Amino acid sequence: MELTWEILPFIRLGGFELRYYSLLFIVVFLSGWGLYRWQVVRGGGTEADANWMLGIGIVTTWFGGRLAHLVFYEPETFFENPWVFLDVQRGGLASHGAWVAMALALAFYAKWRKQSFVEMCDRMAFTSALGGGLIRIGNFFNSEIVGRATDQTWGVRFPRYEQRMGVEVDPRHFEALLLRHPAQLYEAVWLFLVFGLLMVVDRRLGEKRSRGLLCGLFIVLYFGGRFFLEFFKEFEGIEVGTVLTMGQWLSIPSAMVGSVVLVWSFRRAPPANWITGKGAPGAS
């Protein structure tokens, strides 16, 4: 199967351009808020907890993802002109940075609300899996984070990506372009599968699970799968001098953290329990 992906990444509404990526980001945060609210309220928390985390999540995910992308994937551009950080039209978010920033935000909020940090991470796992998959579809619309060349008997051509890379593109002869793995869609499918597995685990165990099970499972599965899926992605970012990509180097410690959390969950973790702190929004 061959496909030439030349659909514009935006919808024109008069003189305004609305990107599919932006629309998907809105869906990510609305669905993420719904999933987190479902988990928190079911566990005995309040809607205020979910509402506060929606705002915190939007800010920290963008900040951490944007900073990590520029530092690891566009360091020369960033250090020459740090103000590019604020250029939202330029785009560029790294999931590793978004994950770390969200974890720090959860840690701060958990301390403020007198909650368990790991408990909050568990209840955020569904949001992370579904949101990550939707964002990768947005990357596909943007013709970014493309895959490496296939054996040329199947794959997807990305004319806009090739033009950004300086390749001369003739609209009359797209067949001359490389056929590439749709790596964005591979990762999206993987994240949706992880989301489905988390749902199965939650359906079977519910509030009887041990702390750390859901977030540990998400981290191990996502970053473990990401390590292997990176073999299909085009190289990006800092030259690391090995066959591994920057994404793989960043996925290794992430997966190790998830493994530690899982071991702790199976051996020593207390059961799931949401305790509303005193003196914070929504407390009773």
Q: Compute CA 168 distance to the chain's CA centroid, rounded to the nearest angstrom.
A: 32
pLDDT (0 to 100) of residue 279: 40
pLDDT digits (tens, 9 = 90+) for 33-73: 899 999 999 988 888 878 877 777 777 877 787 777 777 76
Arithmetic mean of pLDDT, 241-249: 80
Dump strand ranges (E) for the chain: 2-4, 10-13, 16-19, 155-157
pLDDT (0 to 100) of residue 281: 45
Rounded to whole angstroms, the Cα distance separating 255 from 45 reads 29
Confidence of residue 205 (pLDDT cuts 50, 70, 90): very high
Burial 45-58 (b: 16+ CB within 10 A, else e): bbeebbbbbbebbe
- The residue written with tokens 């008997």 in the block is 153
Beta bridge pairs of residue 2: 155
pLDDT at 240 over 60: no
pLDDT (0 to 100) of residue 178: 93
Range of weakest confidence among 96-110, 116-130, 190-204, 214-228 = 96-110
Those residues with Cβ within 8 angstroms of residue 193's Cβ, 6 or more apart along the chain or in another chain: none
- The residue written with tokens 């750390």 in the block is 212
pLDDT at 89 over 60: no
18 and 8 Cβ atoms separated by less than 8 Å: no
Q: Which two tokens stand for residue 97?
A: 């940075």
pLDDT digits (tens, 9 = 90+) for 150-198: 987 889 999 999 998 899 999 889 989 999 999 999 999 999 999 999 9
> What are the percentages of helix, strand and coil residues in the chain, rounded to 5?
65, 5, 30
pLDDT digits (tens, 9 = 90+) for 119-156: 989 999 999 999 999 989 999 998 988 999 998 788 99
Range of weakest confidence among 49-63, 84-98, 148-162, 215-229 = 84-98
Q: Which two tokens stand for residue 164?
A: 């950004």
Rounded to whole angstroms, the Cα distance separating 45 from 48 reads 8
Rounded to whole angstroms, the Cα distance separating 252 from 259 reads 11
Confidence of residue 214 (pLDDT cuts 50, 70, 90): very high
Those residues with Cβ within 8 angstroms of residue 109's Cβ, 6 or more apart along the chain or in another chain: 52, 53, 56, 115, 120
172 is in an annotated binding site: no
Rounded to whole angstroms, the Cα distance separating 230 from 187 reads 9
Range of weakest confidence among 14-23, 27-36, 110-119, 122-131 = 14-23
pLDDT (0 to 100) of residue 280: 43
- Could you give the C-alpha distances from 212 to 62, 114, 217, 258, in angstroms and in order? 25, 17, 8, 9
Q: Is the dihedral of CA 8, 70, 234, 96 positive or negative?
A: negative
Range of weakest confidence among 3-12, 170-179, 234-243, 267-276 = 234-243
pLDDT digits (tens, 9 = 90+) for 256-279: 999 999 999 999 889 888 875 544
For residue 181, the SS3 value is: coil
pLDDT at 108 over 90: no
Q: Is the dihedral of CA 171, 177, 182, 183 positive or negative?
A: negative
pTM of the predicted protein model: 0.86
